[in-house]
A and B are shown apart, each in its own frame.
Chain A
Amino acid sequence: AQSVTQPDIHITVSEGASLELRCNYSYGATPYLFWYVQSPGQGLQLLLKYFSGDTLVQGIKGFEAEFKRSQSSFNLRKPSVHWSDAAEYFCAVGAWGTGNQFYFGTGTSLTVIP
């Protein structure tokens, strides 16, 4: 069955430090993978997506993610975190052809300390 796991419920980093948010998926076919960010009171905004090709994808706001098929992972990274990055981050897998088109992880809440 399709699923997405974000093992870290909450992460705290210092401003300027590097960041890695973990995402593991379970999907029988080639996955389409996404990272979304949600600021308080807002909807989900797409950070980046992976459909095929280069396994290192660049997104908005300086984020990148690497698809590792052997590890069924799609971890999100940022070399230097800014205070404005504090938000909830969701990993998702696209499952077109089934009833539930997207499987979302439970989210990772990021706190950035000065």
Chain B
Amino acid sequence: DARVTQTPRHKVTEMGQEVTMRCQPILGHNTVFWYRQTMMQGLELLAYFRNRAPLDDSGMPKDRFSAEMPDATLATLKIQPSEPRDSAVYFCASGLEGTEAFFGQGTRLTVV
């Protein structure tokens, strides 16, 4: 059963520390999304990749967030330095362009 895998599932870190979240998209999918979910803002698109190329990262705070796809099986979202306001659930999703997105289980980040 193909699925999007995210690690870690939970992360607690201190303010100022670097956080790296990883995502393994479903094999063969050519689009990858990073979303952030909070109670206040709901689902926010942070970044979107197609064929490993970043097409849109306008939703991402550029000064501290970065997203990459070093290869087709790995997408990363990095926060450096982390701040308490970054506490949220971060979802990775993958799909084929023009079809539905398949979501991972998310990484729950708490910055204290």
Contacts and interface: CB of A to CB of B under 8 A. Distances in A.
Interface stretch (B60-68, B71-79, B101-109): B101-109
Q: Is the interface of B mostly helix, strand, loop or mixed?
A: strand
A107 interface: yes
Contact of B56 (A90, A96, A99): A99
B55 interface: yes
A96 B100 CA distance: 11
**A contact patch SS:** strand
B45 A100 contact: yes
A56 interface: no
B103 A96 contact: no
Contacts of A106: 42
A100 B98 CA distance: 12
Contacts, number: 45
For the side of the interface on A, what is the size category?
Answer: 20 to 34
A107 B45 contact: no
Contacts of B105: 41-43
Contact of B91 (A41, A43, A96, A101): A43
Nearest to A43: B103
B2 to A, nearest CB: 13
A91 to B, nearest CB: 11
Given A42-B105, A43-B103, A96 B48 contact: no
Contact of B106 (A43, A96, A100, A104): A43
B101 A102 contact: yes
Contacts of B91: 43-44
